[in-house]
Structure 1
């Protein structure tokens, strides 16, 4: 009997050393010191909004993104946030730290990412945030979880672009893709994200769902499973829905997803715009009226 290997198996897997991958990210701190400093101090008991805004003001591009997010539909402020300190207060320290992590790890450079990365990520983040109260979680924290969940996929792609592209093409569904990642690298992308976030001191509330997403008997990964289902229904062609009650141990019904899908469709583009910065025709990144 002839055994057909899974797509991508004919491409030799690179030597994959997690410590080397994470050390490579740490070297970026030299090139992006403001983002690195924010990641380091954002959770300190000594840090307040004024201090964080002062640090953030040294990076105009990152500060501009925080301002755009604070003024987005998600936070309901629509143009009323005109100072960086107020923006930090509106979005919260965890969100600022998340945005700094995005900048530090080059997740804002789409040329270095798997295809469709940010369409998936914004759908995932908004899905997790909107569903968060149903699981007893805070929406801003769940937004951050969704925004960072695919960090590991970006790292795998950067380390092995040809091989990872084969996996993405052959495995459009996320659970199947995680299994293929484990076969090739010995770790899946979500667990790699968890390892990275643990190294940078993110709390267990951010890392546990990433580790438990494939355990359908626990609620620890249920919110993230539901968010991935929302993202899949919106971003994967000809996707075969998985019953949401099965993914959430009965916490959600299909009717619960209808308004969530509509909201994510309407707000995903604006969130992507806020996370990635100004369009190419607006290079200044500092709209009139913003006070840094």
Structure 2
């Protein structure tokens, strides 16, 4: 993989300073350093990827990281899964949330996405909104709701990576370009790659399956059907998290996946579970 350098300054005449060269090799290789800092999370990611993974084995590995195990327990007992205290053992919690969700939570820990202090403003408010919206809409696109939830949770990994490289610049960019589409365009102008596309590259390198990588890779193309779910979910996530967001008609983003008159019902479901989901992931 070659390094990606920025092409032109950010759109709109905003002065953000000299754009840094984004070296994807170096960014993604940082996962090895992170793995050394969170060895149990790294082992969970590896074990969950194997063909012979079992709930008992994953629970055994998880038990070595009290914080991560606690988050899996909280997720299993969250409003999203509807268990409300009935998931009382780690093995049962793994069964409830599924291997993909456990792997997603371990990736969150590995990439330090559970440390909100070093993330873009509103990162988890937007991420949980996108994740829950994607989960609600998943059956309409032939996707499993749990896979869609994980897709939404990891969709902004690229934003976190870019923010880590260029904190002040990325904060200014995000403040000036609030809509998902405008922000993607500004990211490409400044860094040579959008955050969504960087998320796809990262998940592919880290061994996530095509069902997770494909929609991320297609999200930037408004004509790509595979990206429709994430585009619509991103719009709903933006409406949920940002009162100043200027709505984009969802029909334009999803090719019939959702009509504008159906958005309010999805937003209601997102609002009901978003804070509970955020607490399970980062608190």
- For the criterion TM > 0.5, the same-fold answer is yes
Q: Which has the larger radius of gyration?
A: 1
CA distance in 1, matches of 2:80, 2:10: 47
1:116 aligns with 2:118: no
- 1:28 matched residue in structure 2: 34
1:190 aligns with 2:196: yes
Structure 1 residues without counterparts, runs of 5 or longer? 278-292
1:49 aligns with 2:55: yes
Q: Which has the higher helix share?
A: 2
- Cα contact 2:40–2:64 (8 A) shared by 1: yes
- Cα contact 2:155–2:196 (8 A) shared by 1: yes
CA distance in 2, matches of 1:159, 1:101: 19
> Of the candidates 52, 70, 87, which is equivalent to residue 64 of structure 1?
70
- Cα contact 1:28–1:104 (8 A) shared by 2: yes
Residues paired across the two proteins, number: 275
CA distance in 2, matches of 1:7, 1:33: 44
- 1:170 matched residue in structure 2: 176
- 2:231 matched residue in structure 1: 225
1:180-233: CA deviations, max 9, x gaps? 111111111011111110111101111111111132222100100110111121
Q: Which moved more, 1:241-250 or 1:132-141?
A: 241-250
1:9 positional shift? 3.9
- 2:12 matched residue in structure 1: 6
Partner secondary structure for residue 255 of structure 1: helix
Structure-2-length-normalised TM-score: 0.94
1:276 aligns with 2:282: yes
1:31-60: CA deviations, max 9, x gaps? 100011111120211210000000000000
- Listed as ranges, the matches of 1:110-189 within 5 Å are 110-189=116-195
CA distance in 2, matches of 1:254, 1:139: 21
Structure 2 residues without counterparts, runs of 5 or longer? 1-8
CA distance in 1, matches of 2:11, 2:49: 46
1:237 positional shift? 2.6
CA distance in 1, matches of 2:272, 2:10: 42
1:7 positional shift? 5.0
1:248 aligns with 2:248: no
- 1:290 matched residue in structure 2: none
1:63-120: CA deviations, max 9, x gaps? 0000000011111111100000000000000000000000000000011100000100
1:4 positional shift? 10
1:242-275: CA deviations, max 9, x gaps? 2222211123212322221101111100000000
- Cα contact 1:7–1:167 (8 A) shared by 2: no
- Cα contact 1:8–1:163 (8 A) shared by 2: no
